[in-house]
Amino acid sequence: MSARVGVVWNPAKAERGELEVALAEVHTGPARWYETTEDDPGQAACRRALDDGADLVLACGGDGTIRAVTEHLAATDSAAEMGIVPLGTGNLLARNLDVPLADLPAAIARALEGTARPIDVGWLEADLDGGTERHAFAVMAGFGIDAHMITETDEDLKEKAGWLAYVESLGRAVSASEVIGLRLALDGGAAEAHQAHTLIVGNCGSLQGGLTLLPDADPADGRLDLLVLHEGGVSGWLDTLRNMAWDNGLKRLLRRDDEVTAESTDATTLGRLTRARVELDEPRVVEVDGDDLGETTRIEISIQPSAVRIR
């Protein structure tokens, strides 16, 4: 029996007609369409699709749309499966799951015909200006270089140059990410003090341009991977990025076992966890899958294993 397809799409990323043509190449059955808006990046659209009986939700858009659909499916513990049609700049989850990036019919075919696999979803809770908020992430969350590269990226350049715009923003991101004091507790353990400019918790390991920041991260292993960067300044970050992403891209930087670990050097702390609590001495911008949430001094992170089934 063919799936009941609900298409959640971001009209800022693609025209509906373009998607309809691509869908028709690989799908002869009916599909219902649910447009995202500025006020609803995808959660409400996904809910409407499920209410109408969709058992396959195609998320068509950038990282924000993909995250929003993932969040609603995970929050409702829905049995519906998800397909990804990447239309954004970063396309982070699509890259990590090897979804075709530049071929709409191929991405849609993968979503319609591929075998669903469960993936974990991370949850971040933070005290923001509007109160305490809780958001899901499928790829990475945190503060520092990662977050500032999002907030400092020139939008016009992003439209013209794609992910390369993030490289252009690196210098400004480094200057905006000063070393601060923080306390980090993993899986209910005692808090440890750190001086750092960046903290990233990842469900997946790859970024744009083939950079592998967390080479052992597995979106289906029931754990999240941790990276804390202590180095300050451009040279320290570039040295760390080179060592982590290029020199060690194929090495195992984190131990693979059930023990909670946090292995430290002068430049980095690496760990694996199911829960984390972070308290910051000063407010910092926090992000989830490329979405800037605003500034906070408290972050709590947890994992929902096998939260969403993605084709």
- Which residues are within 8 A (CB) of 121 and not within 5 positions of it... i.e. 6 or more apart? 70, 71, 74, 136, 137, 138, 203, 303, 304, 307, 308
Same domain? For 71 and 87 the reply is yes
Give per-10-residue mean pLDDT for the chain (311 aa): 88 95 92 97 98 97 96 96 93 92 94 95 94 95 67 47 45 61 96 91 79 83 91 57 48 42 66 96 92 94 98 95
Domain boundary among 56, 91, 114: 114
Looking at residue 229, its pLDDT comes to 82
Same domain? For 102 and 201 the reply is no
Same domain? For 141 and 289 the reply is yes
Q: Which CATH number do you get for residue 35?
A: 3.40.50.10330
Same domain? For 84 and 215 the reply is no
3-state secondary structure of 258: coil
Quickly list H helices, 27-152.
43-51, 63-75, 92-96, 104-113, 145-151
Same domain? For 97 and 180 the reply is no
Six token digits for residue 241: 């990025």
- Which residues are within 8 A (CB) of 248 and not within 5 positions of it... i.e. 6 or more apart? 215
Domain boundary among 114, 134, 165: 114
Looking at residue 295, its pLDDT comes to 95
Same domain? For 89 and 169 the reply is no
Predicted structure pTM score:
0.84
Same domain? For 163 and 99 the reply is no
Domain boundary among 114, 133, 162: 114
Q: Which CATH number do you get for residue 301?
A: 2.60.200.40
Same domain? For 142 and 265 the reply is yes
Same domain? For 101 and 128 the reply is no
Same domain? For 91 and 174 the reply is no
| Domain count for the chain | 2
3-state secondary structure of 177: coil
Looking at residue 1, its pLDDT comes to 47
Looking at residue 146, its pLDDT comes to 57
Looking at residue 211, its pLDDT comes to 65
Using CA atoms, how far residue 303 sits from 124, 199, 203, 222, in Å, is 9, 17, 9, 7
Looking at residue 206, its pLDDT comes to 78
Same domain? For 181 and 293 the reply is yes
Owner of token pair 């407010």: 283
Looking at residue 301, its pLDDT comes to 98
Looking at residue 110, its pLDDT comes to 95
Same domain? For 12 and 80 the reply is yes
Give the rounded percent of residues in the chain with a pLDDT score beyond 90.
Answer: 62
Q: Which structural domain range is residue 65 located in?
A: 5-114
Looking at residue 234, its pLDDT comes to 52
**pLDDT, tens digit, 9 for 90 and up, residues 167-204:** 444 545 555 557 889 999 999 999 999 998 889 999 99
Looking at residue 309, its pLDDT comes to 98
